[in-house]
Structure 1
Amino acid sequence: MKHTSIGAVALLATFAGSAAWAGGADLTVFDWSGYEDQGFFGDYMAKYNEAPSYTFFGSQEEAFTKLQSGFTADLAHPCTDAVRKWVAADLLVPLDTSKLKNWDAMLPEIKEVDGVMIDGTAWMMPFEWGNTGLIYRTDKVSDDKISLQLMADPAYQGKVSLPDAASSAYAMASLATGNGADYTKLSDEQFKAASDFLRAVHPNVRFYWADAGQMDQAMASGELELGWAWNQSELNLIWNETPAKMMRDVDKGIATWACGYVHLKSSTTPVEQIYDHLNALSEAASGKYIIDSWGYPHANAEAFKIADQALIKQYGFDDPKSFFEGSLFFDAVEPALEAKMLKEFERIKAGF
């Protein structure tokens, strides 16, 4: 056994609470696959020399169920439409905005979104935002023919993919049936119209994706021609020289979302380390990385000044206000309606 001098012990004590001795992997994050990318949290890596530990979920419904069943972590990454439900289930700790050093740099449009703030209390540190829209193979479908209704056309049997997430599927179906504005509070008649549309689409669905990469690969190979998916999928396809793009015609139907990080009540890691990670995620440099490399806009307004201006213009991020106002915004669905969506979506996927 090695012996340590008194001076060495004192030195160890001095540094015991410092970044040099902190365990970066002690921080646990419950996240979407891919967000373990260290480009998102460079300052955290610089301080702790080690990435957090990650566990992944495929949908917010899955994440909520797992957390309610006793799964523990320090941080999680839902979208704003889920936050009220998570707060009501007593899963979260409010955020202290005085510890979020980039809070004042956040886009005002983001901070006004329900779920980031609820009744004057901050519950989410916003991170990224963007579109969910219809991505299509431009060599198979012409721009003037593209529409959400095309997903139910028998000509596309086996050529369509939808996310394995009831709320997203019903948002798409509500847009397709002209009820997008009422998506979070559908009447019985509107709900039936959306459900009927999803049933019409079902025979065309090759698979319901849980991992966006699965849809990207199938679109790139030509297995799929239409898919309801996120900005990142469009960028991945373009970078892989696949002739594909997202339909961004507001009148034809597109949705906008915002996601971020929440402090879980089950957290056991020191608060300082929690906020070190949140601050790293919200840096302008992190925002530049996600814009340039993932095709998602970031919550920090300063990121747009240093990111690729051509990409910002291409994706319409140069005018965040109109971006938020011009499409259906994913918001919290009334609990009874959400339960109804979940149940009916399972029936539709099973062919009933």
Structure 2
Amino acid sequence: MNSVLRRLAIAAACAIGAGTVAALAAGGGDLVVFDWSGYEDPLLHPAYTAEQGAEPTFAFFGDEEEAFQKMRAGFKADIAHPCSQSVVKWREAGMLQPLDTSRIAGWKDLNPGIMAMKDLATTADGKAWFMPFDWGNTALLYRTDNVTPDQAQSLRIFADPKFKGRVTIGDNVDDAYALASLVIGLKDWNKMTDAQFKDASAFLRDVHKNIRFYWTDDTDINQAFSGNEVDLAWGWNETFVTLKGQGVPIAMNRDTKEGLSTWVCGYVLMKDAPGDLDQAYDFLNAVNAPAVSDYLVKTFGYGHGNAAAMAAIDPKILAERGFDDLDKSLDKTLFQQPVAPELKQRMIAEFEKIKAGY
């Protein structure tokens, strides 16, 4: 299929069915990257454009379950950008092909803690499936002109009736149950009992009573904060960094008494990738390049998978972004590690009921 017909086919596939999968971003090269909105930024893969003379074609999803179902229904991409908790599910569904690590420059420089996460990047047979790219926190964000620091010391503030209609959390089952797990005192969601699942879901139902809307991307949440539509959000580093830079009165409390959540996302190679493998590896090399670390940390507020490149960043910048002493928060962090498939499906089904008001 020539590139024009292929792009038309992708656009048609993105438009079919419900959900928030968006059509194509600027670019239109032969490589198709299925990604979160915002990651089409050319400065996250400058070496790819220089090598290929064109941007990749980007298609977007709102959450990983939506992406999973869309690809199961026949949507084709070369590369996708899931997070750690979904990789095992995608791999076991036969959707991925292993990475040839000899073709990825800087593979040895990837964050060793992430690479050691059970069942994530490398399986017992030595095959590699996932290249970590970005990692960060989901934590309490609040407007400092409407919420005091004393009020923002507990994640239970999300269910406080005083903030009815002034709360937003992501339309994202993983972040939602990370929040609820922390509130009930659970740091490892794979150890969740039936009783704890009920308690976590009950908290999310209480939060739902205060919800103004469930945000799906950074644009939603950034506009709501800057427009003074919400006081509280369960959100990511990028919102804090962006809005702080714009002068919006916002704070991010990574030290609430219940803690925070840490997520890791990265790139995978799809099993039925229709494009050129050389282009796919050019893209993987481009996003793992050391020069990308500085931009990702400063502009998005996220950590880069390339640990060696992260270590070369100005320590002052790392401190401002919360990356200077990660050990101090380990005991208060829920890592969004791979979730047992049965529990994940249960979370998905229950979160849909909660959002519908049941």
Measure, in 2, the Cα distance between the counterparts of 1:304 and 1:323: 18
In the alignment, which residue of structure 2 is the partner of 1:93? 97
Give the letter for the 1:327 counterpart: T
Cα offset, 1:93, TM superposition: 0.4
Q: Which runs of 5+ in 1 are unaligned?
A: 1-22
Contact 1:185 1:333 in 2 (8 A): no
Matched, 1:173 2:180: yes
Cα offset, 1:211, TM superposition: 1.5
1:248 to 229, 254, 270: 254
List aligned pairs for 1:259-274, cutoff 5 A.
259-274=265-280
Cα offset, 1:24, TM superposition: 7.7
Deviation readout 1:256-279 (Å, 9 max, x if unpaired): 011110000121222222111100
Matched, 1:314 2:340: no
* Identical-residue share of aligned pairs (%): 45
2:236 to 227, 230, 233: 230
Contact 2:86 2:338 in 1 (8 A): yes
Cα offset, 1:324, TM superposition: 5.4
- With the length of structure 2 as denominator, give the TM-score of the two structures: 0.88
Measure, in 1, the Cα distance between the counterparts of 2:258 and 2:180: 12
C-alpha distance 250-157 of structure 1, shift in aligned 2 (>3 A): closer
Measure, in 2, the Cα distance between the counterparts of 1:321 and 1:56: 34
Matched, 1:151 2:158: yes
Matched, 1:283 2:289: yes
Deviation readout 1:241-291 (Å, 9 max, x if unpaired): 111121111643200011110000121222222111100100110111111
Contact 1:36 1:54 in 2 (8 A): yes
The structure whose Rg is larger is 1
List aligned pairs for 1:38-53, cutoff 5 A.
38-53=42-57
1:109 to 85, 97, 113: 113
Cα offset, 1:168, TM superposition: 1.5
Measure, in 1, the Cα distance between the counterparts of 2:43 and 2:331: 30
1:211 to 195, 205, 217: 217
Deviation readout 1:105-134 (Å, 9 max, x if unpaired): 222112212312232321111111110111
1:140 to 130, 141, 146: 146
Range with bigger deviation, 322-331 or 229-238: 322-331
Cα offset, 1:235, TM superposition: 0.7
Number of residue pairs matched?
Answer: 329
Contact 1:250 1:327 in 2 (8 A): no
Give the letter for the 1:108 counterpart: P
Measure, in 2, the Cα distance between the counterparts of 1:37 and 1:272: 21
Contact 2:64 2:86 in 1 (8 A): yes
Range with bigger deviation, 100-109 or 149-158: 100-109
- With the length of structure 1 as denominator, give the TM-score of the two structures: 0.89
Range with bigger deviation, 240-249 or 29-38: 240-249
Give the letter for the 1:89 counterpart: A
Q: Which runs of 5+ in 2 are unaligned?
A: 1-26
Matched, 1:301 2:307: yes
Give the letter for the 2:149 counterpart: D
Range with bigger deviation, 324-333 or 206-215: 324-333
Contact 1:24 1:49 in 2 (8 A): no
Measure, in 2, the Cα distance between the counterparts of 1:39 and 1:323: 30
In the alignment, which residue of structure 2 is the partner of 1:83? 87
Partner-residue secondary structure (3-state), 2:209: helix
Cα RMSD (Å): 1.7
Contact 1:292 1:307 in 2 (8 A): no
Runs of 4+ residues deviating >3 angstroms: 305-309, 319-326
